[in-house]
Each structure stands twice: as C-alpha cells, then as structure tokens.
C-alpha cells in the first residue's frame, strides 16, 4: 500500500514538490544553512574577517560563567513578563472595542494600526525624547524628574512600554479578525438564555477567539524574546543602565559585531533559540487546557 501510487498520483506529487521548491530552496539557503553555520560558529573562536578556529565548548563555558550573560537572560525573561500578558490583554480589549458599534470605528482602527506602519527606528527616536529625563514631555506632565532610560530601575519598563505600544495595533487586528468570525447567532442564543455581557465574554468570546489568541501569544512571546532593535535605538553604549536593560539579542549584537567575538555571540544565539523552543513547547502543551478549536 505504501509506495503504490498510480502514475497520475505520482505526477501530482512531483508537481507538488516543484510548487514548493522555491520556498524550500529559499528557506534552506537563507534560514537553514545559516542556522547550521551558527551552530558550528558557536564552537569556534573568531580570528577576524571570517576566519575561525575550532575551540570546542569554550564559548559555552565562558558564557555560563559570565554574570552579564545571566543578567541578560533574566532581562529577556523579565521583558517578556512585562510585555506579553499586558500586550495581549490590551490588544484583546482594543479588538473588542473596535468590534463594537462605535462612531469613527475606521478612524480608530487606523490610529491603533499606525504604530506598525512607522519605522521602528523612528518610533524609538520619538519615545526617546518623550522619556528624556531632562526635557522629556512625560516628566513635564508628571512633574517628576525620573531618568526613564538611564536609571537601572526604570529603563526596561520604558522599553517595555514602547514595545507594547507598537505591537497592540497588529495584535488587535489579528484578534479582530478572530472576533468577527464568531457567529452572531451564538450571542443571540446566549442573550435569550439571559446571559449578561460579562458572562458572554467568558462563555462565548474568549473560547471562540482562543485559537487566534494562541497564535498571537506565540508570536508576541517570540518577538519579545528576540527584542533587540528597540534597545539598540533607545540606549547608547554609554548608558549606565545598559547592564539592567540589555537583552540576549542585544548582548549577542555587542559580542558579535562590536567586540567582534562571533563565536561567543553565536553561543548566545543558540542559547536563545533553545529558550524560545522550550517556551514554545510549553505553550503547545498548555494550549490543550484553554484553546478551543471546536464548539
């Protein structure tokens, strides 16, 4: 039974391969091969200009005994804790509000989606000025003198705020699509049964939108674990709070490209990939408990 395909079916299978070939080839050259190379590089010392020498596990030994690395790992995890639950919850709230019958709905949708259209670099520059300790508008409004970006206590929170702000729109649009797929009849039946708005939210909206929310959650978590550009744009290398702010990807950038230590940088990348893999596996295992695929 296994390999007994009719001639027509085999032809169809061949066509299938041809159709996906561009994607597979592209993926292999642009993603898969560099990934393999990164693994190899993580066992090497970079001598300069692309010349490497195999040094075994030394990069990993150095990495695990480095306090800066552990701090960066914690910063990354902390950043996820700060951004993911709040970000997704706010996105859901926005999606529900935009799904309701409000005036200027399209206008609001545009406004919430705008941050995504802006270049991340521009976004970071603007927020940098908003957060500026001396002249920033935020401190002017609050009447405080908080060193948002340069104090070790607030720096990561400031970056988290920007991250949430710029991702809400995109997540909300995805969730909105999920919400609009919920049949109206469910709500009608539910309200005939005498359920209030809050009850409707928990018994209909949340379960029905949970598959979309699951995708959003996975994507948001991965993005947060890989955060780099915002930190790069918002904090200079003379920032005294850098140690309490830098994520794993930022540490990787500084090791690989500023200090030129590609091997060590690659080890950090592999560690991050492992971390993301672990978290994603946990999520897939956990989804059985709360994601509803059938009614």
Ranges within 24-53 binding another protein (CB under 8 A)? 47-50
134 binds another protein per the rule CB under 8 A: yes
Size of the site for another protein (CB under 8 A): 28
The pair of three-digit structure tokens given for residue 270, joined into one six-digit string: 């592999």
d(CA 144, CA 134): 10
Min CB(234)–another protein separation in Å = 10
Q: Choose between 123 and 234: whose C-beta lies nearer to another protein.
A: 234
Is the Cβ–Cβ distance between 40 and 256 less than 8 Å? no
**Residue for token pair 């639950």:** 85
Q: Choose between 147 and 272: whose C-beta lies nearer to another protein.
A: 147
208 binds another protein per the rule CB under 8 A: no
Min CB(122)–another protein separation in Å = 15
Of 9-17, 78-86, 257-265, 277-285, the segment contacting another protein by CB under 8 A is: 257-265
**Residue for token pair 């590609």:** 262
Find the binder of another protein among 160, 176, 230, 235 (CB under 8 A). Answer: 235
Find the binder of another protein among 115, 120, 133, 207 (CB under 8 A). Answer: 133
Find the binder of another protein among 237, 285, 293, 295 (CB under 8 A). Answer: 237
Min CB(117)–another protein separation in Å = 24
238 binds another protein per the rule CB under 8 A: yes
Find the binder of another protein among 41, 73, 147, 167 (CB under 8 A). Answer: 147
125 binds another protein per the rule CB under 8 A: no
167 binds another protein per the rule CB under 8 A: no
Interface residues with another protein (CB under 8 A)? 47-50, 128, 132-134, 147, 149-152, 235-243, 254, 257-261
């Amino acid at each position: 039974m296994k390999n007994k395909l009719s001639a027509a079916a085999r032809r169809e299978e061949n066509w299938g391969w041809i159709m996906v070939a561009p994607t597979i080839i592209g993926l292999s050259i642009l993603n898969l091969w560099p990934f393999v190379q990164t693994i190899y590089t993580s066992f090497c010392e970079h001598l300069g200009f692309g010349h490497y020498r195999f040094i075994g596990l030394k990069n990993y030994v150095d990495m695990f005994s480095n306090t800066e690395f552990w701090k960066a790992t914690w910063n990354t995890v902390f950043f996820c804790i700060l951004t993911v639950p709040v970000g997704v919850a706010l996105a859901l709230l926005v999606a529900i509000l935009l799904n309701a019958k409000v005036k200027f709905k399209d206008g609001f949708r545009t406004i919430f989606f705008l941050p995504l259209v802006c270049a991340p670099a521009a976004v970071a520059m603007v927020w940098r000025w908003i957060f500026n300790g001396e002249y920033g508008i935020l401190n002017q409004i609050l009447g405080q003198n908080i060193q948002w970006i340069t104090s070790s206590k607030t720096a990561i929170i400031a970056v988290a705020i920007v991250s949430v702000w710029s991702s809400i729109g995109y997540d909300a649009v995805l969730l909105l699509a999920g919400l609009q797929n919920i049949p109206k009849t469910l709500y009608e039946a539910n309200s005939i049964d005498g359920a209030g708005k809050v009850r409707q939210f928990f018994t209909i909206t949340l379960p029905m939108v949970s598959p979309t929310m699951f995708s959003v959650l996975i994507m948001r978590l991965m993005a947060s674990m890989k955060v780099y550009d915002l930190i790069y744009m918002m904090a200079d290398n003379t920032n005294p709070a850098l140690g309490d702010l830098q994520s794993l990807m930022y540490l990787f950038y500084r090791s690989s490209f500023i200090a030129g230590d590609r091997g060590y940088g690659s080890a950090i990348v592999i560690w991050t990939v492992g971390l993301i893999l672990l978290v994603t596996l946990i999520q897939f295992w956990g989804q059985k408990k709360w994601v509803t695929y059938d009614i």
